[in-house]
Structure 1
């Protein structure tokens, strides 16, 4: 018998093997009032890790007092109550099973069926109107999408991954149109996951920043707004100069043209007649006889 076999046999006799094969107990997440859906999911994982989730789902008579699995029910309800604040524990202290306590928590924080249906319709409307902001980062928008999708699924609505991917693409702003078109034309959306899509968006965003600098997000196009305006301005000035030998002459600023001094209004009252030497008329309009004729007379 080898040394390893001897060690294993000794462990079996001493009960150490049971300790080695036992699963590692995971810590239970503290109760989060702000996001019950996320907390419930993490709590489900922790109970599954300790082989206690079956006491809540599906549950059954074997988990009630006197049943074969009553001890697991006690462990599950203890785990739930241990992460609850005092005011919530008061709602759970009278419950006879872990499943009943869990259903009470869902009712308290998700509401009854009519309330859940109303909340579901509100979330679905927000989901359909979802748009990514012009200055919003990819990570921030992804967090909004994930929170909304988790909320919809927690209320019983089946939301497929391909539906989320398509909604993400439709919500993209103009600066992501090149990558959206490339994905829709070259990739089968049925095989594309949301994580892969987010990675492609982030790679495109970093590429545009590398090419055009850290500019405003609405300028991440094939040409920036400033480049487009400069190009149009230059072409217009060359077209105007085509009739003057093809030389480029920069257009004068409209503000400078508007600041030119205006001509003074003509005032006839200040005109002096060269015939009678009076103000207010021209010589041709003078009714007095010419001075030369008057001297000859």
Structure 2
């Protein structure tokens, strides 16, 4: 039946001719070979869902159905090669994670192998075993060394390797609580030391703050005491009255006589009136001179106009 999928449908031919033989002339062997195509089509269609069945509905032979499904799911040759390259890269870069179990790791590894097998790329058991041993974390190095030394990797099966790794995993799981307790004790010791240092720092800071507060309170008390003393010594003026001044003790800086200020000096007032009159007289003379100049200019203009008219 697989021959039908690879080669195609069998068609009986007449002797010495390329024309199909009439069905009435088929032999029993030829009839059985023709029925193989029908059986292959029936088997493939019965395994497909509705969506896949609609995709191959127009195919007439089992080979056409198979090639249509293969192209859709695997792609063309170029697409297939690209997917193989991606799968090989996943295989080469695969590593076991720190918090991952052996079953989880082997499940991811098997999915990559199955994907490559479906694309025509396969690895031997020896290659898979050596890859798994290289991918294990650093904590697994003792068991890796023991397996490599004690066993011949060319004769070990994957099932035996996975069983040995799972046995070692159970031992590691038992050791984890002890390691956690030791880690917690170490961390608690460090925390206690840190707490002691923090407490000492807080106490020293608190003492410094208390000293600063005491110093500030003393300064404030001194300022308040000084303020009260100033209030007692200060006597404000009542009703805004100005203090009386004895003018007989006041000497004028203009005439050097007693009894008045310089602003109220009578000699200073006489000088001001004299200079004021003098300035007014100068201003009056300037006005008269300017007026006489204007009259002379007007007379000259009239003479020039009259002479021009006579000519």
Fold agreement, TM-score > 0.5: yes
User: Alpha-carbon deviation of 1:112?
Assistant: 0.6
Cα gap change, 1:224 to 1:77, in 2 (>3 Å) = same
2: CA distance, partners of 1:130 / 1:251 = 39
Partner SS state of residue 154, structure 2: helix
Distance, in Å, in 2 between the alignment partners of 1:96 and 1:201 is 52
**CA distance in 2: counterparts of 1:269 and 1:199, whole angstroms:** 77
The Cα shift of 1:109 comes to 0.5
CA-based RMSD of the aligned residues comes to 3.4
Out of 24, 33, 53, which is 2:2 matched to?
53
Q: Which residue of the other structure, out of 196, 199, 208, is the alignment partner of 1:259? A: 199
The structural deviation recorded for 1:84 is 0.9
Q: C-alpha deviations, 1:94-151, integer Å up to 9, x for none?
A: 3333233212211110111111111112222222221112222221211111110111
The residue aligned with 1:227 is 182
- Is the contact made by 2:113 and 2:122 (CA closer than 8 Å) also made in structure 1? no
- Cα drift, residue 230 of structure 1: 5.3
Distance in 2, matches of 1:255 and 1:78, equals 79
Separation (CA, whole Å) in 1 of partners of 2:10 and 2:57:
16
**Residues 132-147 of structure 1 correspond to what in structure 2 (within 5 A)?**
132-147=96-111
Q: Deviations over 1:158-185 (max 9, x none)?
A: 3222221111112212342222121122
Q: TM-score of the superposition, structure 1-length normalised?
A: 0.56
CA distance in 1 between partners of 2:91 and 2:148 (Å): 21
Matches within 5 A, 1:46-195: 52-56=1-5, 59-60=6-7, 63-66=9-12, 67=30, 69-195=33-159
| Unpaired segments ≥5 residues, structure 1 | 1-51, 216-222, 235-249, 273-278, 280-297
Q: Is the 8 A contact 1:64 1:97 kept in 2?
A: no
After superposition, residues 2-13 of structure 1 pair within 5 angstroms as none
Q: How many residues align?
A: 197
Q: Is the 8 A contact 2:97 2:137 kept in 1?
A: yes
Write the distance in 2 (CA, Å) between the matches of 1:264 and 1:98. Answer: 94
Indicate the SS of the match to 2:122: coil
Q: Residues 225 and 178 from structure 1, CA distance in 2 versus in 1: closer, same or farther, beyond 3 angstroms? A: farther
Deviation at 1:78, TM superposition (A): 0.5
Residue 96 of structure 1 aligns to a residue whose secondary structure is coil
Deviation at 1:193, TM superposition (A): 1.9
Q: Structure 2 length as normaliser, TM-score? A: 0.54
Uncovered stretches (5+) of structure 2, i.e. residues with no partner: 13-29, 223-311
Q: Cα distance, 1:228 vs. partner?
A: 6.5
* Greater per-residue helix proportion: 2
**CA deviation vs aligned residue, 1:250-293 (integer Å, no higher than 9, x gap):** 996221222121143767969x9xxxxxx9xxxxxxxxxxxxxx
For 1:104 and 1:196, the matched residues in 2 are separated by: 40
Conserved 8 A contact 1:123-1:151: yes
